[in-house]
Structure 1
Amino acid sequence: MATLTLQPEPDTAPDNPDNYNYTTLTPDDLLKAIDKFNYSQPVKSSLRNLKSNILVDDPVIETDEAGSLTLTGTIGKSRFLLKFPPKWNHELVLLVHGYIDPGTPISLEQIGLDQIDLGVLNSAFEQGFAYGYSTFGKVGYAVEEGTKHTLYIKKLTEVLGLERAYLSGRSMGGNITIALLEKYPREFAGALTYCGVMSGWYEQIKYLSDFRVIYDYFTKPLGAPITLAGCGDVLTVVTLPNRQEVINSVSALFSMAEINMNTSPANSTMINIIKRISLITGVNPDPISYMTVLLTNTVGLSDYLETASANGYSNENKVYKYPPEYIPASEDIKALETLNDCVQRLPCKRVATAYLKRWYTPTGKFRAKLLALHNLKDPSVPFIHELKLDEMARKFGSKLVVWIAPDKPTVPGDPESGPGHCFFTPEQMSFAWKELRNWVETGNLPTGGFPNELMS
């Protein structure tokens, strides 16, 4: 696919990638850097939102036969990893991982195993870049923790002579990435995001919450197993449906719609319910997409309410509509009017809304070059995030390019097929990294998108 959008490029002198001053680090170099980092508190405390008492604890340094060095340790409450190639070019790629379900154990080994992320990290490492990442010290909604702990790793690497840094952010990590680019505009030269929450966590909560209350409204009259537990009271954690109940609900809804289609076309109740839910919410009309959105909402609700101190999104004054290109029949108009009269309205608290804005709703003003990748039909983090960020970025002339990647294909008879979240290949990620690096080093915009051989 072609590039979705290009922002104006200021005049900059291109770098020559052949002029790197490569360094072979030793374990002693890393130990000295840790000591210096721990001692030089004024450097870190001069940055907004960083505490001055951040130290590196429990450092472990490992070497391999190729001469690579790996440093692991703890900064604050978070475990971190830094890996340096045998010949380091004084540049760094920081991986910013995505959302991890609350209650799920997390380790550095888990973060470093994903093949999509490794498409970037391995390519950069082979080119002389160091890379690193953090556990954030928290699972679930961890934008605040991810922002701070990712920056801590960058500041530690500066002690070793870091000259330029990049970010690679996935899903929630995309939101953390844009937070870092805007809060600390001189810290990073470029960033790659994929399926990111790019227009903000408030927008993501709105998307998830709207779908849940609209799904509940249309399915409440249908009864079990389609009607979900907590229907009409979606902010009460103790009444939330479990994972299997969500799967059963959506499966039954689509199964009944298929029966209507095949045996009783005149009885189109289920078909119309699915049609109206998808038109109003923008969620793809397929069972995997519905399950994905509902599970994302229910699994993370308790953690979100605790992290933000309350619910930060309200639909109390919202008027739900069909998309402007849809011409509704009279039955559709009546259904929409009744929905707006009867749908559950969600109250919010200002403190929670403020937290969603702070961690993080972007302004669109950033200095770094940002290449954002997204699947067009991602049900978990919708593509509209990219469109909204693009609109904001244009106001400031920020350097943003968005590429569309093909969605996971639907295979008849395979319930696991169809559009999903973060459907990329390591080869696509490696190619995108190459294009971002070239953009930063030469000023040449990555205008072509993925080549044809990477689009299938």
Structure 2
Amino acid sequence: MKAFAALPLALLLASGSLAQQAVTASPATDAAPSPAQRALLDRAAQTGATAITTKAAPAGGMIVNGILDGHAFVLVLPANWTGEAVLFGQGYATPGSAPTVPADPLAKDPGGGLFKHLYGEGIASGIIAFDKTGVATESGAKNTMRLRALMTKLGATRFYAVGGSMGGSIVMSLIELYPQAFSGAVSMCGVAQGWLPLVQQLADLRGAYQVLTAGTPYALPGEQDLTRSALPTVPPAGDATPGDAFREAQKMKVLMPLFALFQAAKANPNGKEARIIRQVAAVGGFAPDPAALGAPLYSAALGMDDIVATMGGLPIGNTAKVYDPPEMTAAEKAEFNRRMQRYAASPKAIAYARQWHQATGRFRVPLVTVHQTIDALVPFSQSEGLGRVVAKAGNTGRIVQYAVPPTRMPLPGGLEGYTHCGFTPAQNIAAFEAMRDWVRNGRKPGSDAVR
């Protein structure tokens, strides 16, 4: 669930004082820090940041990398800093990979053009790594608050929470659990309603796919138990394959049968394969599209062990659920329900998912959300669900939601699919500026602020 950027094709195929901690310029630095910048670095070290390095940024600004309480972080500090700061919640990464942050968010903008815009406006930005990959809303929120404390001591006077995909879940955690910490927030393509409905959709999708493709060339490999991951995401002992390459290969093992199913359906739109696609999509609540089924399918197949481990059990259950796939006779539906694996939710896991995080709708700051009407991984229903929750809480005066058209990308085998978080730089920037203007002038943005 990468934040803001369109889903890449590869995804589918201890404290101390300054006297004790070195502050150095990186080899890429074009100029030494100015006296004002040196004073900021001194304060950062005095507040516990370690391994601090700097790199000159355009127009006299500075990029700072370091470690805070054991977590890598990066700050982008313009020379004309207004005192405003954006703290950015990153997206999901496949379990088993290493938590990280971009070394230079201006060179490799994780906000799809937003970081360059912020820098040009004199707004600082910061990102801090999670404790773990996979589902990381808890550590994403807690670590962001650590970074907020650091930036406060550097002189930040107003904070905005921004994030996409899983970062949207982090944004909701921040503004609901730390109500005084931020002045406004933006969630792009976010898991904004919460993990409980999304994890249930992932499991339903995988379960339907397994039932309907069993015994066919399109069946999924690996473990078939829906409460377990289908394939490992860490190379076994003795396997010299680099971890990231191993995980990409595992993704493709899940995706290739699905792509073959879509190729068969493309050749015969009225055949059984096309019917399977429509039924799987309907049961899971995703679009009948190779990316919109593929991304959630591999997320379920590779991420369920992490979900269970993170939440202390299975947060979802379907023991009493009656599935109603389309284009089936009553007898076929009964057989489908008989074959669909049943499992019960753990109260402990439900409680965890509600805390980290199921939206309550009770936040106190302006919130702007943007979602494509069809998204390859986080369905538009997350935006709709959040809207209902906020309305039930009587808090619609603090939220503005935008629905924008979906975008598409090429896939292997001559296929094409929807993107995840496939926003343009203009949309990312417009969403932020709509929220910022709302914070500054007190007027809700109009219906055409993000298009």
What interval of TM-score do these two structures reach, taking the shorter chain for normalisation?
0.7 to 0.9
Residue 157 of structure 1 aligns to which amino acid in structure 2?
M
DSSP-derived class of the 2:338 partner: helix
DSSP-derived class of the 1:108 partner: coil
CA gap of 1:70–1:433, structure 2 versus 1, over 3 A, is same
Tell me what 2:228 maps to: 236
Asked if 1 retains the 8 angstrom alpha-carbon contact of 2:221 and 2:230, the reply is: no
Matched, 1:422 2:421: yes
C-alpha distance after superposition, 1:145-185 (max 9, x if no partner)? 11011111111111233221101101000000000000011
Deviation at 1:64, TM superposition (A): 4.6
Matched, 1:362 2:359: yes
Tell me what 2:307 maps to: 304
Q: Between the two structures, name the one with larger relative contact order (CA 8 Å, sep ≥ 6).
A: 1
Could you tell which deviates more after superposition, 300-309 or 130-139?
A: 300-309
Deviation at 1:434, TM superposition (A): 1.8
C-alpha distance after superposition, 1:337-385 (max 9, x if no partner)? 3322321112332222222222111101101111111111113110101
Matched, 1:189 2:183: yes
Asked if 2 retains the 8 angstrom alpha-carbon contact of 1:119 and 1:428, the reply is: no
Could you tell which deviates more after superposition, 382-391 or 423-432?
A: 423-432
Deviation at 1:413, TM superposition (A): 9.6
CA gap of 1:413–1:258, structure 2 versus 1, over 3 A, is same
Tell me what 1:340 maps to: 337
Tell me what 1:86 maps to: 79
Deviation at 1:219, TM superposition (A): 1.4
Q: Tell me the distance in 1 between the aligned counterparts of 2:419 and 2:174.
A: 27
Tell me what 1:403 maps to: 402
Matched, 1:247 2:255: yes
Note the 1:115-134 alignment, pairs <5 A. Answer: 115=109, 117-134=111-128
Note the 1:40-439 alignment, pairs <5 A. Answer: 55-64=48-57, 66-109=59-102, 112=105, 114-115=108-109, 117-220=111-214, 223-230=215-222, 232-237=224-229, 242-261=250-269, 265=270, 268-321=271-324, 331-394=328-391, 395-398=393-396, 399-409=398-408, 415=414, 417-439=416-438
CA gap of 1:61–1:114, structure 2 versus 1, over 3 A, is closer
Q: Tell me the distance in 2 between the aligned counterparts of 1:26 and 1:95.
A: 25
Runs of 4+ aligned structure 1 residues displaced above 6 Å come to 410-414
Q: Tell me the distance in 1 between the aligned counterparts of 2:213 and 2:63.
A: 53
Q: Tell me the distance in 1 between the aligned counterparts of 2:420 and 2:223.
A: 26
Cα RMSD after superposing both structures: 2.6
Tell me what 1:29 maps to: 39
Asked if 2 retains the 8 angstrom alpha-carbon contact of 1:25 and 1:86, the reply is: no
Deviation at 1:78, TM superposition (A): 1.1
CA gap of 1:205–1:177, structure 2 versus 1, over 3 A, is same
CA gap of 1:364–1:114, structure 2 versus 1, over 3 A, is farther
C-alpha distance after superposition, 1:23-44 (max 9, x if no partner)? x9723422442355x3xxxxxx
Asked if 2 retains the 8 angstrom alpha-carbon contact of 1:96 and 1:173, the reply is: yes
Asked if 1 retains the 8 angstrom alpha-carbon contact of 2:94 and 2:133, the reply is: yes
Residue 371 of structure 1 aligns to which amino acid in structure 2?
V
C-alpha distance after superposition, 1:196-218 (max 9, x if no partner)? 00111122211111111111111
Residue 446 of structure 1 aligns to which amino acid in structure 2?
P
Asked if 1 retains the 8 angstrom alpha-carbon contact of 2:169 and 2:190, the reply is: yes
Asked if 2 retains the 8 angstrom alpha-carbon contact of 1:27 and 1:61, the reply is: no
Asked if 2 retains the 8 angstrom alpha-carbon contact of 1:230 and 1:236, the reply is: no
C-alpha distance after superposition, 1:242-271 (max 9, x if no partner)? 43332232123223333443xxx5xx4333
CA gap of 1:208–1:110, structure 2 versus 1, over 3 A, is farther
Asked if 2 retains the 8 angstrom alpha-carbon contact of 1:26 and 1:69, the reply is: no
The unaligned stretches of length 5 or more in structure 2 are 1-33, 233-248
Identical counterparts, % of pairs: 29
The unaligned stretches of length 5 or more in structure 1 are 1-23, 39-54, 323-327
Asked if 2 retains the 8 angstrom alpha-carbon contact of 1:254 and 1:287, the reply is: yes
Tell me what 2:447 maps to: 448
Could you tell which deviates more after superposition, 351-360 or 223-232?
A: 223-232
Deviation at 1:442, TM superposition (A): 1.0
Q: Tell me the distance in 2 between the aligned counterparts of 1:352 and 1:407.
A: 33
Q: Tell me the distance in 2 between the aligned counterparts of 1:344 and 1:121.
A: 45
DSSP-derived class of the 1:248 partner: helix
C-alpha distance after superposition, 1:16-63 (max 9, x if no partner)? xxxxxxxx9723422442355x3xxxxxxxxxxxxxxxx422233444
C-alpha distance after superposition, 1:289-343 (max 9, x if no partner)? 2211111112222322222233221111222236xxxxx66x4444333322321
C-alpha distance after superposition, 1:407-443 (max 9, x if no partner)? 1147799746331211011122122222221111112
Residue 382 of structure 1 aligns to which amino acid in structure 2?
P
Could you tell which deviates more after superposition, 382-391 or 272-281?
A: 272-281
**TM score, norm. by length of structure 1:** 0.80
Residue 103 of structure 1 aligns to which amino acid in structure 2?
G
DSSP-derived class of the 1:274 partner: helix
Deviation at 1:189, TM superposition (A): 0.9
CA gap of 1:165–1:150, structure 2 versus 1, over 3 A, is same
Tell me what 1:46 maps to: none
Residue 84 of structure 1 aligns to which amino acid in structure 2?
L
Q: Tell me the distance in 1 between the aligned counterparts of 2:411 and 2:176.
A: 44
Deviation at 1:91, TM superposition (A): 0.8
Asked if 1 retains the 8 angstrom alpha-carbon contact of 2:92 and 2:165, the reply is: yes
**Matched residues, number:** 399
**TM score, norm. by length of structure 2:** 0.81
Q: Tell me the distance in 2 between the aligned counterparts of 1:173 and 1:298.
A: 21
Deviation at 1:238, TM superposition (A): 6.2
